[in-house]
Structure 1
Amino acid sequence: MTKKPLIIRTLPVIFAAALGACATAPVAPPEAKPAIPAAPAAPVTEPASPATARPLRIDGASSLIAVTVRRAGLLAKLGHDHVVASRHIEGQAVAPANGQPGSTSFRFRLDELTVDESALRAEAGLSSVPAADAIAGTRNNMLTKVLDAEKYPYVEVTAVTTRDGPMQAAITLHGVTRRYAVPAVLTARADGVNASGTLTLRQTDFGITPFAVFGGALAVQDELELRFNINAVNVTR
């Protein structure tokens, strides 16, 4: 099996567009900016390397990418913060071996994202729960007016772990690829490897204009708070 860079196409930002059921007309993407360096990362804890590299597959049923999208503006109290998540992640990985870095690549579909699961809202510290019609409107606007999910159906991630530094990940969203140093912890398990951590992304780095209405009085913050828990399990032959 060919080794692929360990990617976390997560993450991402997809979710940024999810604030409020209100929408604005799409704005032309700004000129691409260089990726913004991530905050200093906690050391990556690599699993003990086996004698030979092990092919792994991403277990979508037990993996999660969740993004918290927060409101902004003078009328922010009239809106809601949201949590957008993916539980349908597909991809493969190679476990570290003989001192060599591990790698992974995965992707998930935007039209399979969930919005405001009650358990995820609670984990994010959001006490209120939007009405069902508000959640449905938020999801529709996110997919059609912000993310253009028909044209860009997937978020894709590739990543490579290093022994002396953070995970190096490339995230492709809305047709734009950005590279990040991701604070992550890798944990060896009997059936594979788990990767978990958090990352802050900006919508504008992917050519996405944050939602805003009433001249910006009610808007979505540019920054998105992303957390991931990815399980890669042994491939049975």
Structure 2
Amino acid sequence: MQVLTPANEVPPGAHRRGGGRSAASAIAALMLGGALAGCGTAPPATTPIATTPTATTPGAGASEASSPQGPSSCTAWLAAQQRGEGRLYRVDAATSQVRIHVFRAGRLAKFGHNHVIGVERLTGQVFVPTDGIAGAGVELAFRLDDLAIDKPEWRAPLGPEFASTPSASDVAGTRANLLRAVDGERFPVIAMRSTAVAGAFPVLALKLAVNWHGQTRLLDVPVRVVRPAGDAGRSVLRTQGALVLRQSDFGITPFSILGGLLAIQDELTVDVDVAAVPAVACD
């Protein structure tokens, strides 16, 4: 997929100076337009996991769940809740926070920006067993076209490497080119589902199946889970963790131009702070 704009066109986010465009602003615009850019056609070295669903069985040891391409586990979790085996929680998007950090690279990196991308409409559910971790699980998803990009209040606390302030046109250009680069119309959703849970509350190790760009990969993700105190039927469950996504693992070639002088790093860091409230039905 071609993501670079031809030289006789001004890409979204580019700045004009007089009757033309400066080389620096053109490079900066291309950098902004290329966040998470590039669609690889060759399969990555990582082997995809099987996409055949695996049923969740509360009480059978480590938690097992189906892949992100399989049906939701929520129905099984709801049934387990009705049997008194645990509690189902629904993600509260308004009080949850997911931040994806995208980093510039290359000798001309100073002409670009690091980016902070926010997930503002996270959906999903969490199941917490009454005792132990057997049967615990989580499902999360968000749409790429719902992402927010480079809000000043997100960038400011991160220090000088995020001190620049992209303009509104820069942000619009980043959004348009990002969705085009990762084929967001064809693959509009990133979905995550635990396939196993180990550890002990409040510190757990999730085996997380992540589906992005038509590829599913397994990641090991440590999380800290704060179980509700008191009336669990009214309290909020909080889960915090972090993970690294490598674009190349999902068949995406990290953006670069000018022979790599200006590029995006392969690694994206993701900070997750999920709040969930008790649920009595599946979404």
- TM-score, normalised with respect to structure 2: 0.67
Deviates more, 1:213-222 or 1:150-159: 213-222
Q: Does the Cα contact within 8 Å between 1:24 and 1:213 map onto a contact in 2?
A: no
For residue 153 of structure 1, what is the aligned residue in structure 2? 188
Distance 1:118 1:23, change over 3 A: closer
Matches of 1:183 and 1:136, distance apart in 2: 34
Q: Does the Cα contact within 8 Å between 1:198 and 1:227 map onto a contact in 2?
A: yes
CA shift for structure 1 position 24: 11
The answer to whether structure 1 residue 107 and structure 2 residue 141 are counterparts is yes
- Equivalent residue in structure 2 for 1:225, among 235, 254, 269: 269
Instruction: Give the number of the structure whose residues are more often strand, by fraction.
Output: 1
CA shift for structure 1 position 167: 1.5
- TM-score, normalised with respect to structure 1: 0.79
The answer to whether structure 1 residue 124 and structure 2 residue 158 are counterparts is yes
Deviates more, 1:23-32 or 1:74-83: 23-32
Instruction: Give the number of the structure whose residues are more often helix, by fraction.
Output: 2
SS in 2 for 1:99: coil
Q: Deviations over 1:131-159 (max 9, x none)?
A: 21111111110011x21111001000102
Q: Does the Cα contact within 8 Å between 1:19 and 1:69 map onto a contact in 2?
A: no
Distance 1:185 1:155, change over 3 A: same
- Which of these two proteins has the greater Rg computed from alpha carbons? 2
Matches of 1:201 and 1:105, distance apart in 2: 17
CA shift for structure 1 position 211: 1.2
Q: Deviations over 1:3-62 (max 9, x none)?
A: xxxxxxxxxxxxxxx951258995533323227xxxxxxxxxxxxxx9730111111111
Matches of 1:152 and 1:182, distance apart in 2: 23
- Equivalent residue in structure 1 for 2:254, among 210, 228, 233: 210
Question: Unaligned 5+ residue runs, structure 2?
Answer: 1-29, 48-80, 230-234
For residue 78 of structure 1, what is the aligned residue in structure 2? 111
Amino acid paired to 1:179: L
Distance 1:68 1:19, change over 3 A: farther
Q: Does the Cα contact within 8 Å between 1:19 and 1:82 map onto a contact in 2?
A: no
The answer to whether structure 1 residue 182 and structure 2 residue 217 are counterparts is no
CA shift for structure 1 position 222: 0.5
Distance 1:91 1:22, change over 3 A: closer
What is the 5 A alignment of 1:133-148?
Answer: 133-144=169-180, 146-148=181-183
CA shift for structure 1 position 112: 0.2
Matches of 1:62 and 1:52, distance apart in 2: 27
SS in 2 for 1:163: strand
Distance 1:27 1:208, change over 3 A: closer
Distance 1:23 1:58, change over 3 A: closer
For residue 211 of structure 2, what is the aligned residue in structure 1? 172
SS in 2 for 1:183: strand
Distance 1:202 1:28, change over 3 A: closer
Q: Which has the higher contact order (CA 8 A, sep 6+)?
A: 1
Distance 1:22 1:109, change over 3 A: closer
Q: Where does structure 1 differ by over 6 angstroms across 4 or more consecutive aligned residues? A: none
Q: Does the Cα contact within 8 Å between 2:216 and 2:250 map onto a contact in 1?
A: yes
Question: Unaligned 5+ residue runs, structure 1?
Answer: 1-17, 36-49
SS in 2 for 1:20: helix
Amino acid paired to 1:30: A
